[in-house]
Amino acid sequence: MQTPPTHVLTLVADPAAFPLTPALIARVRAAVGGGVPVLLSAGEAADIPLPAPPPMDAVRAALGAAPVDALAVPVAGRRKRLLIADMDSTIVTGETLDELADFAGLKAEIAAITQRSMNGEIDFATALRERVGMLKGLRLDALEETWARVRLTNGAAELVATMRAHGATTALVSGGFTFFTGRVAALVGFDLHRSNVLEHDGARLSGTVAEPILDRDAKLATLRALSAERGLLATESLAVGDGANDLAMLREAGLGVAFHAKPVVAAEARARVDHTGLRALLFAQGYRAQEIVAGIDPDPGAGAA
């Protein structure tokens, strides 16, 4: 009798740019000694069942330069019941604070601090206070102008809509600001959002952010609190993010995914998505293309909606 698989390796490609071919799937299968592949989406995603976690070095060697993501997960508890997602450079394509800084003529300076913070080179809360302080006096309508630039990451709406349709709780948890997380959460369909509050005098930014600051510890605490409230184990959660302040929640979650992440995050995360969009997180949970709920247009011009 054949031993049932305990793990699965999911391969995901962008079919428009680089379709996932049977030959490439077969090459990876041979490299890891996997079972008969299961197609999740033609040209886009396939599962390779395995009797143990695969050697990822062998997977990467088999893929070579192919822009294909490979995520290894246990078969048991594969579909998650809680999603905790970062916002900037994860659910939306850019950094909202950096875009806001553009209206103060400070985008380059503030983006450099953002990059150092996301790489874990400086403390997140310190970096946030410094950047917000530089925006003191910026008119409030710059927030609306920034919102007009916001664009959703490909697959964001599908990820949230599909998980919610299958009973999962979805939370947007960001070190950014409530002005943006509230709108993104409503647009995409998240159950709840948590982030920081920009202080102002009714006309201009005060250059301060309300305390306490939502940082990496707060993201982890949110994951734990929501799991406890819903009677879930840590293994039943999925977390996704790109920066150093996401690492704690990525480590804690049953499936923690570094999404187009900074090097320090990609190096530590157990799962990575480097080439494709957020649909990859659905395929990693075993969803087939026909099970995916469309949600809204994946590039609706969010701020203009």
Assign residue 167 the CATH number of its domain.
Answer: 3.40.50.1000
Residue 3 pLDDT: 78
- Based on the domain organization, do 31 and 100 belong to the same domain? no
* Per-residue model confidence as pLDDT tens digits over 258-282: 999 999 999 999 999 999 999 999 9
Residues with active-site annotation: 86, 88
Residue 1 falls within a domain, yes or no? no
- Based on the domain organization, do 30 and 98 belong to the same domain? no
* Per-residue model confidence as pLDDT tens digits over 131-157: 999 999 999 999 999 999 999 999 999
* Per-residue model confidence as pLDDT tens digits over 231-256: 999 999 999 999 999 999 999 999 99
Residue 184 falls within a domain, yes or no? yes
**DSSP string across 141-209:** HHHHHHHTT--BPTTHHHHHHHHHHTT-EEEEEEEEEHHHHHHHHHHHT-SEEEEE-EEE-SSBEEEEE
Assign residue 56 the CATH number of its domain.
Answer: 3.30.70
* Per-residue model confidence as pLDDT tens digits over 73-103: 999 999 999 999 999 999 999 999 999 999 9
- Based on the domain organization, do 227 and 91 belong to the same domain? yes
Residue 297 pLDDT: 53
Residue 300 banded pLDDT, cuts 50, 70, 90: very low
- Based on the domain organization, do 164 and 232 belong to the same domain? yes
Residue 15 falls within a domain, yes or no? yes
What's the pTM? Answer: 0.94
Mean pLDDT of 120-124: 92
Greatest pairwise CA separation for the chain in angstroms: 72
Domain stop point among 42, 58, 74: 74
Please check the confidence at residue 286 and state whether its pLDDT lies above 60: yes
Sign of the alpha-carbon torsion through 39, 40, 45, 51 = negative
* Per-residue model confidence as pLDDT tens digits over 170-180: 999 999 999 99
User: What domain range is 281 assigned to?
Assistant: 82-304
Residue 303 pLDDT: 54
- Based on the domain organization, do 120 and 228 belong to the same domain? yes
Q: Mean pLDDT over all residues of the chain?
A: 95
Domain stop point among 58, 74, 90: 74
Count how many domains the chain has.
2
Please answer whether residues 190 and 160 qualify as being in contact, where contact means their C-beta atoms are separated by less than 8 angstroms. Answer: yes
- Based on the domain organization, do 142 and 211 belong to the same domain? yes
- Based on the domain organization, do 160 and 32 belong to the same domain? no
